[in-house]
Chain A
């Protein structure tokens, strides 16, 4: 059934077809080609390009050339083959439920900073006990970026080096921030005992991965690393970072904003309606196409 478009009596205005773009492109290509073939080719290309520019300008100035295109429309049937599925029953603790509250990004940053500081403490204790210098652990970390430090003596690594301090600060700071952000994102998703998972299990897993990969990532660190102290510092990071993250207030997600006002105002819980409803039979929608 044709549909009238009274405001489009003269059709839709579209830019007129034109050959000037292809002529200009050919002209420029020939100008370039002449540099590796013959000057005549460049001259021909220049002439074509000039003609094309003039023709192009004449098409768009003072008014852009348009052509009217006839519109022929009919009503079309927009339909969907969607199947309405039954909602599966879920209790309030199920992780299927999309969280309505989560941590802010700044929470992860705070956790990362706190964890990073906490991690430095066992590293410093190790450094002082074993090498009588607070700088050893820091220089060891920095050595990952300095190839020339690969064969450095323990005495060298126990001295203060500004380069080492800066490199260690950057490496440690960035890594702590990134892991902190990861904790901020993941902690709400850990089941039941997040501190145990975040503080002990994740550091142990991370240590295992690093133990197998450190030889490639940083051979010097691999030679000198003390795995017991490494694990202690990882757990210190995990516990403190997890603790700090958990202390922060959560913010509401867009899922919360989609709830009815009465639920958001705390006047009424919609859990019964949304999550405990009985499964309904699947039904196919009207498939008319």
Chain B
């Protein structure tokens, strides 16, 4: 079925666009308020930090590969795990997901830009400067007049490690200030996403027709509002403790170290969902397209996302079972943590039901999405194990926990980010990524991932604590650590292959055309890459899959999305 409709340019002009000078490109980046460019800048900046934080992880794995190793010093090791964690969460995970959101949301809802384009640019830049400030600590950690040092208090910076007596110099202050700055950017972007989705949907796009990606970004932005506040408050309290002499977290003077933990994890656990919800959003778009079926259970998916948003606000203290919360706290947080597996389970069942009976296309993007499904399930199961307080008492702060959350962050989130790259790269650049290299990337990464993170559970079960610098040879951990480190090297090779694929495809990849996947959401009705105005005519939609309706006027979706009292229902009853 082919339909002639006036949309935008039909010819891909990417190959004909004259190359601009670097200075022009730089000027364009600095002054742009276009959501697509800002989205790409978010993604590019996050990828740079991904390489940096990945390199830090590799150094840590080399250090831990064999016992009694002194590849790096203990001080450097402390800095490495602090910077790795902080960078991955705040300067890789959040910006890359905000980047995709920035790029895709206006296109998916039929808008020409975000609600506040200038605020959008400001949010990006302040987050970017926060990342630079954090890494400036390597040369300025003790002030300009002394030797620099990176923060070394762990990504959650527990008190009293952050007190001036244990953390002299400015390394901890760099960490605090960088997080304060990036928090401003996160709030700004979340505000923009909410305003854009609420106010700028094209005609006909009711909330019940909103694609699931914007729906989930709406929930994620709500969580961002709630979660960033306590973190910012805690950072300011910490600054006051360190410089004004207050005692919020000083246990020697009536303060409470546990108070910091509460503040941090009230932010920290919703943060996990801030990161994983966009991964769900990508899966909601990608799995149906490559299954050639509409998503199964759209209303249940929306309800589950909103449910996850609410429940995730009541589980933070499961990070604190080993503190000794008391029976009431243990019971409540165990139950709350277990209950969050219900909406998450609904999502997994709905994705499986979408795959069921579909005509599955095993593209690189789909393969990463299927890997995500399997690995997220395993991550959820170990999460339920750790939600049981007595189990957590045994394995809290062990490598079992490290393996569990890396299963979420890498096995689920990073896999879906890779999937999203393979899916939307053609839209963003006008060129296809190499499928062959993509499949090499997938298989190498899957092997490396499972070698690393499956086996990482074992030293945890054998009692290996997290964050240790090295260990004795007689503990029985060596072979496991060696295998885990080998997996990290395989993952590095796979990631380098991905970077090569992106660079090569950007210049030499096949022309993508506007809709290479035969997809159904509005971004695929624009040329690749889309023009600055997105849509020459603001589209009008009548169902959740507007492009399907255009492609298949004989069998449009709106025939099946009849709501009580709608014109379609009246017409149908009349017929």
Residues of A within 8 A of B (CB): 3, 5, 8, 12, 14-22, 24-26, 28-29, 32-33, 35-38, 56, 59-60, 69, 71-83, 85, 144-148, 167, 171, 174, 178, 216-219, 254, 257-258, 260-261, 285-286, 288-289
Query: By the criterion CB–CB under 8 Å, are A144 and B331 in contact?
Result: yes
Contact of B180 with A32 in the complex, beta carbons under 8 Å = yes
Give Cα A15 to B515, complex, Å: 28
Verify A73–B117 contact, CB threshold 8 A: no
> Is there an interface contact between B181 and A28, defined as CB atoms closer than 8 Å?
yes
Name the CB-closest residue of A to B184.
A28
Q: For the complex, give the distance between the alpha carbons of A189 and B515 in Å.
A: 39
B337 in the interface, Cβ–Cβ < 8 Å? no
* Residue from A37, A145, A260 in contact with B331 in the complex, judged by beta carbons closer than 8 Å: A145
For the complex formed, measure the closest distance between the CB of B514 and the CB atoms of chain A, giving whole angstroms: 6
Among the listed B8, B122, B527, B551, which residue makes an inter-chain contact with A24, where contact means beta carbons less than 8 Å apart? Answer: B122
How many residue pairs, one in A and one in B, have C-beta atoms under 8 Å apart?
A: 183
B118 touching A20, Cβ below 8 Å? yes
Chain A contacts of B121 at CB under 8 A?
Answer: 18, 21-22
Closest to B527 in A: A76
Residue of B3, B129, B130, B292 with most partner-chain A CB within 10 A: B129
Taking a contact as CB atoms under 8 Å apart, the answer to whether A81 and B518 are in contact is: yes
Q: Are B10 and A76 in contact (CB under 8 A)?
A: yes
Chain B residues positioned under 8 Å from A178 (CB to CB): 339, 342
Alpha-carbon distance A81/B119, docked complex (angstroms):
41
CA distance A77 to B4 in the complex (A): 5
Given contacts A15-B33, A147-B327, A219-B390, contact A37 B177 (CB under 8 A): no
B354-394 near A? 1/0 per residue, CB < 8 Å: 00000100000000000000000000000001001011000
A286 to B1, CA, bound (A): 5
| Bound Cα distance A8, B8 (Å) | 14
Chain B residues, Cβ within 8 Å of A24: 122
Q: Which residue of A lies closest to B569 (CB)?
A: A257
Contacts of B1 in A (CB 8 A): 79-80, 82, 285-286
Question: Is residue B466 within 8 Å, beta carbon to beta carbon, of the partner chain?
Answer: no
Specify which chain A residues have a CB less than 8 angstroms from the CB of B132 in the assembled complex. Answer: 29
Could you say which of A15, A24, A288 has the most chain B C-beta atoms within 10 Å of its C-beta? A15
Most buried by A among B10, B136, B562: B10
| A-side contacts of B113, CB under 8 Å | 14-15
- Asked whether B328 is an interface residue with its Cβ less than 8 Å from the other chain, the reply is yes
> Which of B28, B118, B184 counts the most chain A CB atoms within 10 A?
B118
Which chain A residues border B350 with CB–CB below 8 Å? none
Pairs across A and B, CB under 8 Å, 12 listed: A29-B132, A32-B181, A36-B177, A69-B532, A74-B10, A75-B5, A75-B10, A76-B514, A78-B5, A80-B1, A82-B518, A216-B390
Q: In the complex the two chains form, is B31's CB within 8 Å of A257's CB? A: no
Contact A147 B2 (CB under 8 A): no
Tell me the dominant secondary structure on chain A's binding face: mixed
Q: What are the residues of chain A within 8 A of B8 when measuring CB–CB?
A: 73-74, 76
Specify which of A28, A59, A74, A216 is in contact with B9 (CB 8 Å cutoff): A74
A37 and B140 form a contact (CB under 8 A)? yes
Which of B174, B328, B335, B385 interacts with A174 by CB under 8 Å? B335
How far is it, in angstroms, between the C-alpha of A60 and the C-alpha of B121 when the chains are bound?
15
Docked Cα-Cα span, A254 to B132, in Å, equals 52
Total number of B residues with any Cβ neighbor in A under 8 Å: 79
B33 near A21 (CB under 8 angstroms)?
A: yes
Confirm or deny: B550 has a beta carbon within 8 angstroms of a beta carbon on chain A: yes
When each residue 550-575 of chain B gets 1 if its CB lies under 8 Å from chain A and 0 otherwise, what string results?
Answer: 11100000011010100001001101
Kindly list chain B residues whose C-beta atoms are within 8 Å of the C-beta of A69: 531-533
Whether A36 and B10, one on each chain, are in contact in the complex, defined by CB atoms closer than 8 angstroms, is no
B202 vs chain A, min Cβ distance (A)? 15
> B533 and A71: CB pair below 8 A?
yes
- CB of A147, distance to nearest CB on chain B (Å): 6
Contact A75:B331 (CB < 8 A) given known A22-B30, A37-B144: no
Cα–Cα distance between A146 and B389 once the two chains are bound (Å): 11
B467 adjacent to chain A (CB < 8 Å) = no
With both chains docked as a complex, state the minimum distance between the C-beta of B162 and any C-beta of chain A, in angstroms.
14
Does B352 touch A at the CB level, under 8 Å?
Answer: no
Closest residue on chain B to residue A72 by CB atoms = B9
> Considering only CB atoms, which chain B residue lies closest to A38 in the complex?
B144
A258/B562 in contact, CB under 8 A: yes
Given contacts A22-B125, A74-B11, A75-B10, A36 and B5 within 8 Å (CB-CB): no
Contact A80 B551 (CB under 8 A): yes
- Shortest Cβ distance from B477 into chain A, in angstroms? 23
Closest partner residue, chain A, to B560 (CB atom): A258
**In whole angstroms, how far apart are the Cα atoms of A288 and B327 in the complex?**
66
- Cα-based distance from A5 to B536 in the complex (angstroms): 8
Cβ B331 vs Cβ A171 within 8 A: yes
CA distance A218 to B2 in the complex (A): 62
The residue that B359 contacts in the complex, of A22, A77, A83, with Cβ under 8 A, is: A83
Flag if A14 contacts B5 (CB, 8 Å): no
Known: A21-B121, A78-B4. 5 other contacts (CB 8 A): A15-B113, A22-B30, A76-B514, A78-B515, A144-B331
> Does B117 lie within 8 Å of A36, measured CB to CB?
no
Of all A-B residue pairs in the complex, the 9 with the closest CB atoms, nearest first, are A25-B125, A145-B331, A29-B129, A21-B122, A21-B121, A17-B31, A25-B126, A79-B2, A76-B10
B495-523 toward A: CB 8 Å interface, digit per residue (1/0)?
Answer: 00000000000000000011100100000
A29 engages B31 (CB within 8 Å) = no
B130 touches A85 (CB 8 A): no
Complex CA distance for A167 and B125, rounded to whole angstroms = 50
Q: In the complex the two chains form, what is the Cα distance from A217 to B515 in whole Å?
A: 51
The B106-123 residues at the A interface (CB cut-off 8 A) are 112-113, 117-119, 121-122
* Cα distance A2–B569 in the bound complex, in angstroms: 38
Q: How far is the CA of A152 from the CA of B132 in the complex (A)?
A: 57
Q: Select from chain A the residue with minimum beta-carbon distance to B516.
A: A289
The interface residues of chain A lying within 8 Å CB-to-CB of B28 are: 17
Chain A residue nearest in CB terms to B129: A29
The CA-CA distance from A146 to B32 in the complex, in Å, is 59
Min CB–CB distance A266 → chain B (angstroms): 14
Instruction: Kindly report which residue of chain B lies nearest to residue A148, judged by CB atoms.
Output: B327
Chain B residues with Cβ under 8 A from A147's Cβ?
327, 330
| Complex Cα gap A82–B527 (Å) | 21
Name the distance in Å between A17's Cβ and chain B's nearest Cβ. 4
Does B406 make an interface contact (CB < 8 A)? no
Establish whether residues A73 and B9, one from each chain, have CB atoms under 8 Å apart when the complex forms: yes
Q: Shortest distance in angstroms between B101's beta carbon and chain A's nearest beta carbon?
A: 18
Determine whether the beta carbon of A3 is less than 8 Å from that of B6. yes
Residues of A within 8 A of B342 (CB): 178
CB-CB nearest in chain A for B173: A36
- Residues from chain B with Cβ under 8 Å of A8 in the complex: 536
- Would A19 and B30 be within 8 Å (CB), given that A78-B547, A79-B3, A216-B388 are in contact? yes
Which listed residue, B129, B170, B531, touches A36 by the CB 8 Å rule? B170
Q: Is the CB of A78 within 8 A of B125?
A: no
Determine how close the nearest CB of chain B comes to the CB of A173; give it in whole angstroms. 11
